Amino acid sequence: MRMLTIKDERFHNVPALHIYDTNEAENPLPTMIYWHGFSSAKEHNLHFAYQMAKNGIRIVLPEARHHGERSEGITEKQRLFKFWSIVLEGLQDIKTIRESLEEQQLIKDSRLFVAGTSMGGILTCGALAAFPWIKGGAVMMGNPAWEAYARYQIAVLKEQNDFPLSDEEAEREVKQLVPYDLSQQPDVLGKRPLFFWHGREDNVVPYKDSYAFYEKIKQSRPISDDTITYHLEEKAVHKVSRYGMLAMTDWAVKHI
């Protein structure tokens, strides 16, 4: 029977939970960095980590800025307006975590995947755009179209009369996201494996942008190739189902 370790750890300055086979603690393993969603925290994804770690994969669950132990006492509204700065900082955190893991020689054959839920899935897409050394990703309720989704968020907040920026300020904020918009540069994905799960009834992060991206990428790969996979679950809302969790972990174990 496999024994698993859950370790509260810092990868340089990034707090995270580190989950792995106890007998493989110091051995290099295929590794996944899994990001939580907005207003969540690292420990809320231990069920994903369990499924991966029991299959011999090292899992790191980082804490995003302004969440969990990094919350710094800000309000929910303040956190909302920092959404994209949190995501952008997450990109730097991925680099930091990778550097720490490599210093400890814990990643086997550079086999590093990034994955995440909602905000974490959005971050995953940006990481794939930014870092060619990420070998693949899994996106649960995320969105590769950063610019389009940011404009959608702004429109929703304006409808609620709850948007503090001028049009010029908003435009500057949106433009800084474009370099990480995977939907605008699909070729940078190359042949890397990518998994999507989304609920058709999700109105927090609507599925259509990610599905359009999937359809574009799918055209460039063989019909039987499951390195690009999309599970669109009927009647599911903005919550990952058990089916989605198991489908993702089965796919990741195969491709990582």
Whole-number Å distance between alpha carbons of 245 and 215: 22
Please classify residue 184 by burial: count the beta carbons closer than 10 Å to its beta carbon, then call 0-12 exposed, 13-18 middle and 19+ buried. middle
Could you tell me the residue ranges of all domains in the chain? 4-145+175-255
* pLDDT for 21: 98
Task: Please identify which residue in the block is written with the tokens 């796919």.
Answer: 251
Residue 53 or residue 154, greater confidence: 53
pTM summary value: 0.96
The average pLDDT across 56-80 equals 92
Beta strands across the sheet bearing 14-21? 4-11, 14-21, 58-62, 29-35, 107-117, 136-140, 194-199, 228-233
Lowest mean pLDDT among 91-95, 143-147, 153-157, 229-233: 153-157
The average pLDDT across 101-109 equals 98
Residues 156-190 have pLDDT tens digits of: 888 887 778 888 888 999 999 999 999 999 999 99
Whole-number Å distance between alpha carbons of 61 and 49: 8
The distance from CA 172 to its chain's CA centroid, rounded to whole angstroms, is 24
Whole-number Å distance between alpha carbons of 51 and 39: 23
Whole-number Å distance between alpha carbons of 32 and 57: 7
Task: Kindly state the tokens that stand for 244.
Answer: 């989605």
CB-CB neighbours of 234 under 10 Å: 7
Closest residue by Cα to residue 172 from 251, 84, 113, 93: 84
* pLDDT for 177: 98
The answer to whether residue 74 scores a pLDDT higher than 80 is: yes
Q: How many residues does the chain have?
A: 256
Residues 14-23 have pLDDT tens digits of: 999 999 999 9
Task: Please identify which residue in the block is written with the tokens 């605008």.
Answer: 184
Average pLDDT across the chain, whole number: 95
The answer to whether residue 137 scores a pLDDT higher than 90 is: yes
CATH top-level class for 4-145+175-255? alpha beta
Residues 24-44 have pLDDT tens digits of: 999 999 999 999 999 999 999
